[in-house]
Amino acid sequence: MLKLLIATNNPGKMVEIQALLSERELELLTPAQLCIELEVVEDGNTYAENALLKGRAFASASGMITLADDSGLEVDALGGQPGLHSARYGHRPGATDADRRQLLLERLGEQPRPWRARFCCWVAVVAPDGEAQLVEGVCVGEIIPEERGQNGFGYDPIFLIPELGKSMAELSLVEKNRLSHRARAVKAALPLIEKYLTDLL
């Protein structure tokens, strides 16, 4: 079976990607399974640059075709914040996802609603020699002032999908993998993954 390294140790992200690629004849591996410990400095100016940084670092270290992503939440009322800093919003050591959601709502404060927002994701498919291809996925919605749902992670409980009337955290994995930013990016990357892996045969 062909092997693909997923450049993350985030369990929530891994569950989503495994479900998206479940119909492919692929063995999906994480850096932890390969005992690869890398601290990649994500100092790119865009999601695409950060995805490439991670993808190239892990592809080089593993010698494997690697899928890496970088994503973020952009809120119009905050000028696109937290954006690239979504996973480290507030820069407080030890901050949790719940802390970051609370900070976001505090900063929105009395801004008039709706608080329009979008999740953005860029996926890089990278060969061991550094050759790479990039694709993007976007999911448009709005921020709500109360948390709803128990699924997902990150900002999912306060991100509403208006046409469904549900937060991202109220969606089943099947629903989320139909319309999320990551799902759209990974699906767009499938032909690239298959091409890179086929070239290895």
pLDDT tens column, 143-182:
999 999 999 889 999 999 999 999 999 999 899 999 999 9
Of the chain, the end-to-end C-alpha distance in Å amounts to 11
pLDDT, tens only, 66-115: 999 999 999 999 999 999 999 889 877 889 999 999 999 999 998 999 99
Q: pLDDT by residue (tens digit) across 125-134? A: 999 999 999 9
Whether residue 200 has pLDDT greater than 80:
no
Q: Which residues are catalytic?
A: 70
Residue closest to 169 by CA, chosen among 189, 148, 188? 148
Domains in the chain, start-ordered, CATH in brackets?
2-200 (3.90.950.10)
